[in-house]
Amino acid sequence: MKMSSKYLILPLFLAFLPYYGYSQLLNKKEEYTKQDTLRGSINTERDWWNVVNYNIDITPDYLSKTIAGSCAIEFDITRSGSDKKMQIDLQQPLIIDSILFLNNKISSYKQEENICLINFNDFNFTPAQDALQRKHPVKLYKLKIYYHGKPVEAVRPPWDGGWIWEKDELGRPWMTVACQGLGASVWYPCKDHQSDEPDKGATISITVPDTFSAVANGRLDDKKTNPNGTTTWTWKIVNPINNYNIVPYIGKYAQWTENYIGETEKNLALDFWVLDYNIDKAKKQFGRDVKQMLKAFENWFGPYPFYEDGYKLVESPHLGMEHQSAVAYGNHYLDGYLGRDLSGSGWGLKWDFIIIHESGHEWFGNNITTKDIADMWVHEGFTQYSEVLFTESLYGKKAADEYAQGLRLGIRNDIPIIGSYGVNKEGSGDMYNKGANIVHMIRQIINNDTRFREILRGLNRDYYHRTVTTKEVEDYIITKSGINLSKLFDQYLRTIQVPILEYKISGKTLSYRWANCINGFNMPVFFSCGNTRVKISPTENWKKTTYASWFNEKKFQVDKNFYIKTKKK
Residue 135 is predicted with a pLDDT of: 52
Report helix, strand or coil for 3.
coil
CB 294 within 8 A of CB 389: no
Helix ranges (H only) for 32-78 are 34-40
Starting at the edge strand that comes first in sequence, how are the strands of the sheet with 253-261 ordered? Answer: 253-261, 267-275, 311-315, 327-329, 320-321
Smallest CA-to-CA distance from 384 within 417, 339, 423, 415 is with: 417
Strands 311-315 and 267-275 come out as parallel
Q: Which residues of 535-566 are buried (b: 16+ CB within 10 A; e: fewer)?
A: eeebeeeeeeeeeeeebeeeeeebbebbbbee
Q: Which amino acid is at 361?
A: H
Rounded distance between C-alpha atoms, residue 451 and residue 454, angstroms? 5
> What pLDDT, on a 0 to 100 scale, did the predictor assign at position 132?
46
With CA atoms as reference, report the closest residue to 285 among 217, 340, 331: 331
The Cα 309–Cα 238 span in angstroms is 7
Contacts of 131 (CB under 8 A, 6+ apart): 50, 76, 77, 78, 138
- Give the count of beta carbons closer than 10 Å to the beta carbon of residue 482: 8
Strands lying side by side in the sheet with 141-149:
104-106, 95-101, 141-149, 66-77, 49-61, 202-209, 230-237, 219-225
Q: What pLDDT was estimated at residue 120?
A: 87
pLDDT at 9: 33
384: CB partners within 8 A, 6+ apart: 22, 357, 407, 432, 433, 435, 436
Rounded Cα–Cα distance for residues 39 and 182 (Å): 10
- Count Cα atoms within 13 angstroms, Cβ side, for 235: 24
pLDDT in tens, the chain (569 residues): 333 333 233 333 344 444 334 444 544 556 899 999 999 999 999 999 999 999 999 999 999 999 999 999 999 998 876 678 999 999 999 999 999 998 888 888 999 999 999 998 777 777 655 444 445 556 899 999 999 999 999 999 999 999 999 999 999 999 999 999 999 999 999 999 999 999 999 999 999 999 999 999 999 999 999 999 999 999 999 999 999 999 999 999 999 999 999 998 899 999 999 999 999 999 999 999 999 999 999 999 999 999 999 999 999 999 999 999 999 999 999 999 999 999 999 999 999 999 999 999 999 999 999 999 999 999 999 999 999 999 999 999 999 999 999 999 999 999 999 999 999 999 999 999 999 999 999 999 999 999 999 999 999 999 999 999 999 999 999 999 999 999 999 999 999 999 999 999 999 999 999 999 999 999 999 999 999 999 999 999 999 999 999 999 999 999 999 999 999 99
Name the phi and psi angles at 490, rounded to 5.
Answer: -65, -40
User: Which residues neighbour 159 within 8 Å (Cβ) at sequence distance 6 or greater?
Assistant: 20, 21, 24, 25
pLDDT of the residue at 15: 40
Q: Which of 89, 71, 83, 93 is nearest to 35 (CA)?
A: 89
Note the pTM of the prediction, 2 decimals. Answer: 0.93
Residue-level pLDDT at 99: 96
What pLDDT is attached to residue 103?
Answer: 80
525: left (phi over 0), alpha (psi -120 to 50) or beta: beta
**Residue type at 417?**
I
Give the torsion sign (CA, 504, 505, 506, 508).
positive
How far apart are the C-alpha atoms of 256 and 60, rounded to whole Å? 25
